[in-house]
Chains A and B, each alone.
Chain A
Amino acid sequence: MFNFAFSSMSEAILMESQNGQNHGIYVWSVFLIVFGALILTFIIYKNKIRNLSKKIK
């Protein structure tokens, strides 16, 4: 269960499947979108709260 599915970093980036297609582009795009959206939302709300707190003070 805990064996690496890839033997090198480049293999993990490309994610070449048995049918010969590289699926890395899809997987890593989704990874970037999800983490990007999460980080951006956290930053936006932290800033909104900070700015509002300054105004209230």
Chain B
Amino acid sequence: MIKKFIHQFASPKTYLKQVDRAYSYIFFTSLSIYLIAIFWGLFLTPEDFVQGHSYRIIYLHVPASFISQSLYLGMAFASAIFLIWKVKLSAYLVRSIAPIGAMTTFIALVSGSIWGIPTWGTWWAWDARIISTLILFIMYLGLISLHDSFTNNEKADKFLAILVLVGSVNIPIIKMSVEWWSTLHQSASITITQKPAIDPSMLYPLFASAIGFTGLVVCLVILSSKFHILDRERNKSWVKDYV
């Protein structure tokens, strides 16, 4: 029954129809939230007592870092669905999310490095959080290269899904790296179980920037998935009607 339900509602054609309808709303709402949040964070929040104005990078770095890991979890979830129920759309989504994940991880790494110069006195340290994030970036690039190296797309989807699931072990390592090892990177300021260590005047724009950035990344995933679906299904009659 679940299989029938998933196959009925997760056909590439239905998916494209749904996301086309939602795209503009998500895009303009997220863009507005993100621009307001960045303006709020860069101009309206007070200077940090310890880090000075450099802490304002938090509004750009943290959403990217959060999304880079969330996208991988999304890929792992889609991979599991593909392997269990053989849903084609899930395989397309796994391949579509990978380049967007690589882009957000790149932003997280570069923005973190730049933030490190005024706060740590160095742009790079062989520290557990940074290395595990670098591994995530390499994994994204490796998964894209691996998929594109196959001539048989079905085989490529299967290999990719298995590798994504194996690689998902890196996500808890990234998350817990600051607790398990002594690192230059500070431990989490916002947790589910404890009160945030950030003042509300700095915290609210951070939440807003994370929401706005997430929405924009969702739009990028929609565009990327649209491209991959059209590319893979180009010989189907509905695609010709669609374009």
Binding site for B on A (CB under 8 A): 1-6, 12, 15-19, 21, 23-24, 26-27, 29-31, 33-34, 37-38, 41-42, 45-46, 48-49, 52-53, 55-57
B223: contacting residue among A6, A46, A53, CB under 8 A: A46
Binding site for A on B (CB under 8 A): 38, 42-47, 49, 51-54, 56-57, 60-61, 64, 100, 103, 106-107, 110-111, 114-115, 117-118, 200-201, 204, 216, 219-220, 223-224, 226-227, 230-231, 234, 239-240, 243
Main secondary structure of the interface of B (DSSP, over half): helix
With both beta carbons as reference points, the residue of chain A lying nearest to B230 in the complex is identified as A52
Contact indicator B118/A21 (Cβ below 8 Å): yes
A27: contacting residue among B57, B204, B224, B239, CB under 8 A: B57
A18: contacting residue among B38, B52, B60, B111, CB under 8 A: B52
A4 to B64, CA, bound (A): 25
Distance (whole angstroms) from the CB of B35 to the closest CB of chain A: 10
A57 to B42, CA, bound (A): 46
Distance (whole angstroms) from the CB of A7 to the closest CB of chain B: 11
- Assess A56 versus B42: contact at CB under 8 Å? Given A23-B118, A26-B118: no
With both beta carbons as reference points, the residue of chain A lying nearest to B38 in the complex is identified as A31
Q: Which A residues lie within 8 Å of B110 (CB)?
A: 30, 33
A26: contacting residue among B106, B115, B219, B234, CB under 8 A: B115
